[in-house]
Amino acid sequence: MSATTVAPVAVKKNYLTALNEALAEEMARNPLMLCQGEDIGKLGGAFGVTEGLQATYGDHRVVDMPISEAAIIGSAVGMALNGMTVMAEMQFIDFISCGFDQIVNMMATYHYRTAGEVHIPVVVRGPAGAYGGGALYHSQMNEAWFCNSPGLKVVCPSTPYDAKGMLKAALRDGNPVIFYEIKELYRKREIEEELPTEDYIVPLGKAAIRREGKDITLVSYGQNVYHCLDAAAELENVGVSAEVIDLRSLVPLDEETVFNSIAKTSRVIVVNEAPMTCGFAGELVARISTKAFHLLDAPPSRVTRMDTPVPWVKPLELHVLPTVDKIVAEAMRIVKF
């Protein structure tokens, strides 16, 4: 009797595991890569993204650093200048402001001020976003700061597949990348998915259409993509067909996918959880107004966080942040315009 061959069981993986795999695989691929940050070694990071890396690669490649974001980023720039590829973790992306000078005045400018001779392969990554009761010091989305700093790439994946593929792409890019991870997605079971066993990357600068529609375009990134998808499902119940675009990458920005969608729907709402004033949603609305005005049948709109810190109390937190109900209400207003 011949032995029965048992097919391997496909395992779905979460957003956090995808990031951990990306780091482990890139460290194996690139012996000149190292990781550094607060508690990323023995502890494996505050959320576990770097778990197991120090045991595998040693404390000379996975380095526990002092509580100084300026030192973490500044030394990463120095090592990059000497041929290393560096992943610098911010324990929470809120604290990236403590290393702001090193990012915008050093890391972002080296390639330009050396006439293209010097590359800075540094990825600064960390958990970001609200909706989890983290209050004002652990809920920020401050991506617009860095979109405003030429020389930096800025990305924010929303799926495990993209989280792994984009982190690998960022570590191979050769340019400094600010990598926003949504902490509320780290272990979210509803978004788990099977990941390819072979090596892959997701190119930076290309948006994804998460749902096709014909009446209105909803553009977002990170956690708000799922709010847009839920809103699109509710809108479908009242006969409104919404297309949902996940930007994935803010710098570089895939304008083409956004404008092609608007050409089909003639209406658009941009959704993000950063404050309204000077947030990235406003930048995208401005570009749409300038370059795609002729495609519109209604003014472009946005649903964002209010211009306030994120409160701790859950009802107040949801009051200031984008929600499914707010997106649906704004979509109905725009459709009826």
* pLDDT confidence of residue 328: 98
**pLDDT tens-digit readout, 204-260:** 999 999 999 999 999 999 999 999 999 999 999 999 999 999 999 999 999 999 999
Active site residue: 60, 111, 138, 319, which one? 138
N-terminal to C-terminal alpha carbon distance within the chain: 72
Active site residue 119: no
CA distances, 239 to each of 190, 245, 254, 332 (Å): 26, 19, 29, 11
pLDDT at 2: 46
Task: Using 50 as the pLDDT threshold, list the residues of the chain that sit under it.
Answer: 1-2
Q: Which domains does the chain have, with CATH numbers?
A: 12-194 (3.40.50.970), 208-335 (3.40.50.920)
pTM as predicted = 0.95
